[in-house]
Amino acid sequence: MSNPAQPPVSDAEATRATTEVTIWSLEQTSPADLRPAAVPEGDLRIVRSEVVLPEFSRFLYSAVGGDIHWTDRLGMTYDEWRELLDRPGAETWVAYVNGTPAGYVQLDAQDGGVVEIMYFGLIPAFRGRRIGGHLLSYGVERAWDLAERWPERPPTERVWLHTCSKDGPYAMDNYLRRGFRLFDTKTEVEPDVATPGPWPGAYGA
């Protein structure tokens, strides 16, 4: 799941090739909305990354989103990454398979008891192994009980997220199966951006 917000497009950029992207917004308004997925077999653990470490967060972001055009955070400075990760109620939950990072869920607490699932996804090598449904279920549970770990935050009343047509083919189905409901759809035209992979030049960009 990507956050599709993009910086304004300049006149020069407007002449480049563009892509029409559909953006869907989904929500849950009660913990009872969640329909958890089955827990997959094997050595799978989901652990909160409690040390604010931009290097690790950027690794997860680029490794998960490199082939599905997650680019909005690649130009951020180290201090900008740290500022986002250090906000009260910001949490990163990482799935490990046999000790190896497989994917993550990033939560962002907002005003009025709202929690956004800012980013969610799996590294390509771990897709198609029934991990995503369980990781999403676990992340949504942590969104609903977030105030238990952050006493300064109000109880969660709503959990929401974005997904878009650039995300994986099974993303929307996973969200709907977990009990999310669609509340908004819009279409934007975005400039085509070379897929960067987990590091610059990884795919010959």
pLDDT in tens, 115-127: 999 999 999 999 9
Neighbours of 94 (CB within 10 A): 19
CB 108 within 8 A of CB 118: yes
What is the C-alpha separation between 24 and 187, in angstroms, rounded? 9
Query: What is the pLDDT at residue 182?
Result: 96
Distance of CA 14 to the CA centre of its chain: 27
DSSP 3: -
Query: What is the pLDDT at residue 67?
Result: 83
Distance of CA 99 to the CA centre of its chain: 21
What is the C-alpha separation between 162 and 205, in angstroms, rounded? 27
Query: What is the pLDDT at residue 70?
Result: 85
Q: Which CATH number is correct for 19-191, 3.40.50.10540, 3.40.630.30, 3.30.70.3270, 1.20.140.10?
A: 3.40.630.30
Query: What is the pLDDT at residue 13?
Result: 46
HEC assignment per residue over 15-79: CCCEEEEEEEEEEECCHHHCCCCCCCCCCEEEEECCCCCHHHHHHHHHHHHCCCCCCCCCCCCHH
**C-alpha angle with apex 105: 179 to 167, nearest 5 degrees?**
70
What is the C-alpha separation between 88 and 196, in angstroms, rounded? 30
Mind listing the pLDDT tens digit of every residue in the chain (205 residues)? 655 555 554 554 445 687 888 999 999 999 999 999 999 999 999 999 999 899 999 999 999 988 887 888 888 999 999 999 999 999 999 999 999 999 999 999 999 999 999 999 999 999 999 999 999 999 999 999 999 999 999 999 999 999 988 887 778 999 999 999 999 999 988 777 666 655 555 544 4
Query: What is the pLDDT at residue 204?
Result: 44
**Structure token pair of residue 9:** 């497009």
Query: What is the pLDDT at residue 203?
Result: 46
3-class secondary-structure state, position 4 = coil
Q: In what order do the strands lie in the sheet with 158-164?
A: 44-48, 91-97, 100-110, 114-122, 158-164, 18-28, 181-191
Q: pTM, whole model, 2 decimals?
A: 0.85
